């Protein structure tokens, strides 16, 4: 039998994986398909500004998502910024702090103050029962964030916003292709934003889109993202160059063609994680909540240090040594970022669930570049780490002296 120190790369043993296993979807189509798409761009000699691939992508997304308008943009962050402007938000907008920092920064860009809400401890989605305590006369809207391939009960939020005359929109960067109550995410609230970053299940390398069923909003959005026939930049308060290029659209079209294959691969890998992690004490896999169909874009677990035997950060170190790029997600929580600790210090210690999750959540690899064997091997490393946690904790403490 191997000595413990011969079982872990962090102690000097050979790593389980020769190559890095990344977190994030990282879809790469075959070179032949990519080449054929790029050839068209070269033949047409047309790189950007409402080109044929962009138009085709918007049409296909409208059909796929069942929405009237899809406006593709250079990334999800620009989509959020444009949304805040197009919705004419003012004063304050409520959103969860347990999200990517761009969700909040887009509000500041539009001159709106973010109001941070805590999340539900079991689903990680915005805690709707905490909204009443935050909504005052200056609040004009709510940004729901659909996390982890799940949803934050968009129908309940729609009712809540309607009853109080608030604008409602969604950051759905994690929820492309998901359905709530059988209806595709994308058509809830006034509008929804998706990210098509390389690490998302629909990839344009960088990219995103804003979806709406409202004609006026769609016009405003298209005029904020320049190059839309007939609308001049003077029609809007702020103009951003948020155009998606033909090269981005080419990848997104291929990714959309392969979406169901990639979604199913994610679903299969997620179920292996579910089965293999369920018997390990102190690690809780978060299942996509509030959806009838998930893209299984993320594998996020909470690590209960006492029951697991080591902290989330120590487990990340152990996995990294084995070439598994697990990471803290989200960390440190927007309200605890340097920027917001300075500008909105009153939120420190006011969001206990968010603080707990920021200290305990780990993101594990899933996506097109990951296979069942890799997931099995990752779960075995975690299982082994749990069984040898006392040894590993002492080893890590010693190596930091
Ligand atoms: N709202 C929410 C809820 C979001 O999560 C995000 C973005 C947004 C809005 C804004 O959407 P975008 O403006 O990004 O479209 C990543 C992504 O940049 C970002 O899309 C994502 N969410 C955010 C949470 O994470 P990074 O900087 O942490 O990713 P990065 O570069 O560290 O990549 C992750 C892993 O993948 C690394 O191990 C490296 C590897 N990798 C990455 C890329 C891009 C590769 O091996 N190859 C690659 O090409 O931000």
Q: Is 171 in the pocket of ligand 1 (CB under 6 A)?
A: yes
Q: Is 75 in the pocket of ligand 1 (CB under 6 A)?
A: yes
CA 194 – CA 215 distance, rounded (Å): 19
Q: Is 68 left (phi over 0), alpha (psi -120 to 50) or beta?
A: alpha
Tell me, what's the pLDDT at 230? 45
- Distance (angstroms) between ligand 1 centre and the Cα of 20 equals 16
- Distance (angstroms) between ligand 1 centre and the Cα of 302 equals 20
CA nearest to 25, candidates 174, 186, 209, 242: 174
- Residue identifier of the C-alpha nearest atom 4 of ligand 1: 100
Report which ligand 1 atom has the smallest distance to the Cα of 171.
1
> Ligand 1 test: best mutation among 173, 203, 331, 366, most atoms within 8 Å of CB?
173
Asked if pLDDT for residue 283 goes beyond 70, the answer is yes
Question: Helices marked H in 292-371 — which ranges?
Answer: 305-308, 312-321, 338-343, 352-360
* Sequence-ordered list of residues with C-beta below 8 angstroms from that of 318, at least 6 positions apart, any chain: 8, 10, 310, 381, 385, 392
CA 274 – CA 295 distance, rounded (Å): 15
**229 pLDDT band (50/70/90 cuts)?**
very low
CA 12 – CA 285 distance, rounded (Å): 29
CA 205 – CA 187 distance, rounded (Å): 24
DSSP state of 99: S
- Residue identifier of the C-alpha nearest atom 26 of ligand 1: 199
CA 141 – CA 86 distance, rounded (Å): 13
pLDDT in tens, 34-61: 999 999 999 999 999 999 999 999 999 9
Asked if pLDDT for residue 1 goes beyond 90, the answer is no
Rg of the Cα trace of the chain? 22
pLDDT in tens, 352-368: 999 999 999 999 999 99
Report residue 218 as tokens: 């769609």
Report the length, in residues, of the chain: 401
Q: Is 194 in the pocket of ligand 1 (CB under 6 A)?
A: no
CA nearest to 213, candidates 90, 94, 71, 79: 71
Report residue 155 as tokens: 């129908």
Q: Is 81 in the pocket of ligand 1 (CB under 6 A)?
A: no
- Distance (angstroms) between ligand 1 centre and the Cα of 357 equals 19
Q: How many helices (H) and strands (E) does the chain have?
A: 14, 13
CA nearest to 293, candidates 258, 268, 263: 263
pLDDT in tens, 134-191: 999 999 999 999 999 999 999 999 999 999 999 999 999 999 999 999 999 999 999 9
Tell me, what's the pLDDT at 226? 74
Mean pLDDT, the chain, integer = 95
Residue owning tokens 């709106």: 112
CA nearest to 360, candidates 387, 389, 394, 328: 328
Question: Helices marked H in 328-388 — which ranges?
Answer: 338-343, 352-360, 372-387
Q: Is 149 in the pocket of ligand 1 (CB under 6 A)?
A: no
Asked if pLDDT for residue 233 goes beyond 70, the answer is no
Instruction: Classify strands 283-285 and 191-195 as parallel, antiparallel or unpaired.
Output: unpaired
Tell me, what's the pLDDT at 399? 87
Instruction: Classify strands 139-145 and 167-171 as parallel, antiparallel or unpaired.
Output: parallel
**225 pLDDT band (50/70/90 cuts)?**
confident
If you average pLDDT over residues 295-304, what whole number do you get? 98
* Sequence-ordered list of residues with C-beta below 8 angstroms from that of 62, at least 6 positions apart, any chain: 68, 69, 70
CA 131 – CA 152 distance, rounded (Å): 13
């Amino acid at each position: 039998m191997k000595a413990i120190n011969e079982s872990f790369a962090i102690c000097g043993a050979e790593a389980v994986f020769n190559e890095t296993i990344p977190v994030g979807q990282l879809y790469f189509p075959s070179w032949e398909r990519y080449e054929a798409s790029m050839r068209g761009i070269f033949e047409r000699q047309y790189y950007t500004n409402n080109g044929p691939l962009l138009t085709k992508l918007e049409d296909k997304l409208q059909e796929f998502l069942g929405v009237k308008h899809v406006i593709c943009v250079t990334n999800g962050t620009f989509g959020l910024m444009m949304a805040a402007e197009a919705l004419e938000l003012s004063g304050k907008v409520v959103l969860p702090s347990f999200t990517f920092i761009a969700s909040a920064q887009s509000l500041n860009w539009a001159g709106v103050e973010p109001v941070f809400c805590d999340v539900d401890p079991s689903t990680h989605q915005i805690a709707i029962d905490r909204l009443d305590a935050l909504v005052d006369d200056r609040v004009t809207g709510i940004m729901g964030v659909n996390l982890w391939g799940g949803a934050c009960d968009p129908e309940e939020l729609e009712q809540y916003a309607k009853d109080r005359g608030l604008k409602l929109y969604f950051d759905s960067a994690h929820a492309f292709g998901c359905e709530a109550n059988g209806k595709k995410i994308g058509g809830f609230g006034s509008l929804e934003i998706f990210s098509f970053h390389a690490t998302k299940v629909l990839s344009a390398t960088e990219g995103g889109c804003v979806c709406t069923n409202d004609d006026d909003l769609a016009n405003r959005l298209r005029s904020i993202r320049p190059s839309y026939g007939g609308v001049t930049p003077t029609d809007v308060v702020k103009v951003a160059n948020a155009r998606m290029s033909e090269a981005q659209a080419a990848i997104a079209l291929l990714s959309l063609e392969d979406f169901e294959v990639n979604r199913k691969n994610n679903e299969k890998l997620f179920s292996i994680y579910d089965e293999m992690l369920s018997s390990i004490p102190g690690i809780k896999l978060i299942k996509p909540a509030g959806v009838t169909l998930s893209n299984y874009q993320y594998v996020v677990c909470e690590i209960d240090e006492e029951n697991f035997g080591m902290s989330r950060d120590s487990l990340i170190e152990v996995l990294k040594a084995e070439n598994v790029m697990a990471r803290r997600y989200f960390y440190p929580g927007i309200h605890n970022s340097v920027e917001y600790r300075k500008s909105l210090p009153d939120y420190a210690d006011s969001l206990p669930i968010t603080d707990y999750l920021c200290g305990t959540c780990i993101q594990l690899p899933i996506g097109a570049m990951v296979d069942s064997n890799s997931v099995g091997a990752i779960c075995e490393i975690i299982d082994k780490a749990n069984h040898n946690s006392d040894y590993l904790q002492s080893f890590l403490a010693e190596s930091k002296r």
